[in-house]
């Protein structure tokens, strides 16, 4: 019964976010939000990432994790309801910023709750329901468009759907197994919460290069993660959420290949393959537009899991192997802060300005946009190949596991 509750927790937690986040850029485009405001609103997720360690610290020391999760989901639902009732970009930013400050800590909390009540080998079997929930969020788009004949993607309706799922999750959370604060009574510091003690690892040249390139990789990555629904809206895609969710569906399969790739090729080559996939993604978008072959866009969509699994999950494994035992948890928090916090924040603003630069009276010059992101991705790949060295001891370590 506990496993069922934990699986349902994961499914709802990722569904409530995906249903409104995936088509958000398309909605902002329809509202005619300016590029700077659009980047700011889309960066609510990145800002939420940067401050989520504070919530995690409170849960670890003062409150039962399932009660914190229920409270956060209730706030998330309330903010989405507010977001659904406004078309004012400033108010919308406040709504979504508060929603993401409540939501982003839930990724760590749900993992902590699940791992507290499951053997470690069973955790992936529960975590996969998060990916299933993300993909299943596309069903809202199908119901509204096909059965109710109501526009969904690019409207305010996804906020209502996200709020509904979030309210449901709030009550489910209260029925989860009790997970008391594991670090109750321990000293709490901001340095530890944000993983800043991991900065000392930057003395290692290889580690420093990895951190810098991981940060820079989020600049081209943001063009897909934050703005792809805007592109699909511009090319008159009917089912935007469903189309993007094909990438997450493929991700579930690619994730299974990550351990096999690391054992066969080593961490460095596995991460290189992830950056190769990033370059191929944008090259396929560029080529699809230049030769007018829309089917090529699906290559880039389906490569999402390969990019995320091989480079970003591979990077997490590299961090785990590289950091000393006392810094492993902090190092994971640090890389999350650097990439999906600071990196995505910077990437969103640069990508928004790039899109705005190639906006014309007749539309957008997406071929130029995809061409630039392809070149940036290729430059990152070349930099990684030339600068990031093979660690022989690390290679033996990962290939023996």
More confident residue, 185 or 74: 74
Q: What is the dihedral of CA 7, 8, 12, 13, to 10 degrees?
A: -40
Bridge-partner residues for 360, per DSSP? 363
* Cα(7)–Cα(312) distance, integer angstroms: 24
pLDDT digits (tens, 9 = 90+) for 141-163: 999 999 999 999 999 999 999 99
CB 348 within 8 A of CB 42: yes
In sequence order, the 6+-apart residues with CB closer than 8 A to the CB of 19 are 137, 140, 158, 161, 162, 165, 241
Phi-psi region of 64 (alpha: psi -120 to 50; beta: other; left: phi over 0): beta
Q: Which of 33-37, 191-195, 370-374 is predicted most confidently?
A: 370-374
Q: 291-322 burial by CB neighbour count: b if 16+ within 10 A, else e?
A: eeeeebbebbbbbbbbbbbbbbbbbebbbebb
Q: What is the dihedral of CA 231, 235, 241, 247, to 10 degrees?
A: -70
- pLDDT at position 94 is 97
153-to-105, 140, 162, 391 alpha-carbon distances in Å: 26, 10, 13, 46
pLDDT at residue 307 above 80? Answer: yes
Bridge-partner residues for 359, per DSSP? 364
pLDDT at residue 138 above 80? Answer: yes
In sequence order, the 6+-apart residues with CB closer than 8 A to the CB of 297 are 284, 285, 288
Our CA angle for 269, 272, 273, nearest 5°, is 90
pLDDT digits (tens, 9 = 90+) for 34-87: 999 999 999 999 998 888 777 767 766 778 889 989 999 999 999 999 999 999
pLDDT digits (tens, 9 = 90+) for 313-362: 888 888 878 888 767 767 777 888 889 999 999 999 999 999 999 998 88
Of 302, 307, 284, the closest CA to residue 373 belongs to 284
Of 243, 317, 237, 311, the closest CA to residue 280 belongs to 311
In 105-236, at which residue ranges do the beta strands (DSSP E only) sit?
none
CATH numbers and ranges of domains, the chain: 1-188 (1.20.1250.20), 189-401 (1.20.1250.20)
Of 156, 116, 158, 98, the closest CA to residue 3 belongs to 116
More confident residue, 395 or 134: 134
Average pLDDT over residues 169-191: 81
- pLDDT at position 395 is 60
CB 126 within 8 A of CB 6: yes
pLDDT tier for residue 89 given thresholds of 50, 70 and 90: very high
User: How large a percentage of the chain has pLDDT more than 90?
Assistant: 64
Under DSSP, the state recorded for 178 is: P
239-to-12, 18, 203, 221, 251 alpha-carbon distances in Å: 21, 14, 48, 22, 19
- Residue 382 structure tokens: 């070349």
Of 99, 108, 177, 156, the closest CA to residue 329 belongs to 108
pLDDT digits (tens, 9 = 90+) for 10-30: 999 999 999 999 999 999 999
Average pLDDT over residues 270-278: 96
pLDDT at residue 285 above 60? Answer: yes
């Amino acid at each position: 019964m506990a496993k069922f509750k934990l699986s349902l927790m994961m499914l709802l937690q990722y569904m409530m976010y995906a249903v409104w986040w995936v088509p958000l850029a398309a909605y902002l485009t329809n509202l005619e939000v300016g590029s700077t405001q659009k980047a700011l609103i889309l960066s609510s997720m990145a800002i939420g990432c940067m401050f989520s360690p504070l919530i995690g610290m409170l849960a670890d020391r003062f409150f039962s994790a399932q009660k914190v999760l229920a409270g956060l989901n209730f706030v998330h639902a309330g903010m989405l309801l507010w977001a659904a009732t406004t078309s004012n970009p400033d108010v919308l930013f406040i709504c979504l910023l508060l929603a993401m400050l409540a939501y982003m800590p839930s990724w760590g909390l749900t993992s902590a709750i699940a791992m507290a009540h499951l053997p470690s080998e069973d955790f992936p079997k529960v975590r996969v329901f998060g990916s299933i929930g993300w993909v299943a969020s596309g069903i809202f788009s199908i119901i509204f468009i096909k059965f109710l004949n109501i526009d969904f993607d690019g409207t305010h309706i996804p906020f209502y759907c996200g709020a509904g799922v979030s309210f449901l999750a709030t009550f489910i959370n209260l029925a989860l197994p009790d997970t008391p604060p594991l670090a109750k009574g321990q000293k709490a510091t901001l340095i530890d919460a944000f993983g800043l003690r991991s900065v000392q690892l930057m003395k290692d040249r290889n580690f420093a290069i990895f951190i810098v390139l991981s940060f820079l990789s989020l600049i081209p990555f943001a063009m897909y993660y934050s703005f792809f629904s805007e592109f699909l809206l511009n090319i008159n895609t009917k089912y935007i959420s469903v189309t993007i969710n094909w990438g997450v569906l493929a991700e579930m399969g690619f994730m299974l290949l990550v351990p096999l790739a690391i054992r066969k090729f080593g961490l460095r080559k596995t991460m290189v393959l992830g950056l190769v996939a990033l370059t191929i993604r944008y090259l396929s978008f560029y080529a699809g537009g230049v030769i007018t072959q829309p089917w090529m866009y699906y290559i880039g969509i389906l490569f999402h899991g390969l990019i995320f699994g091989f480079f970003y999950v591979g990077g997490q494994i590299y961090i785990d192997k590289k950091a000393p035992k006392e810094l492993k948890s902090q190092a994971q928090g640090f890389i999350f802060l650097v990439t999906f916090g600071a990196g995505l924040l910077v990437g969103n603003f640069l990508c928004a300005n790039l899109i705005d630069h190639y906006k014309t009276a007749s539309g957008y010059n997406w071929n130029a946009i995809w061409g630039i992101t392809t070149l940036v991705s290729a430059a990152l790949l070349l930099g990684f190949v030339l600068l990031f060295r093979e660690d022989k001891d690390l290679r033996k370590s990962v290939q023996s596991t």
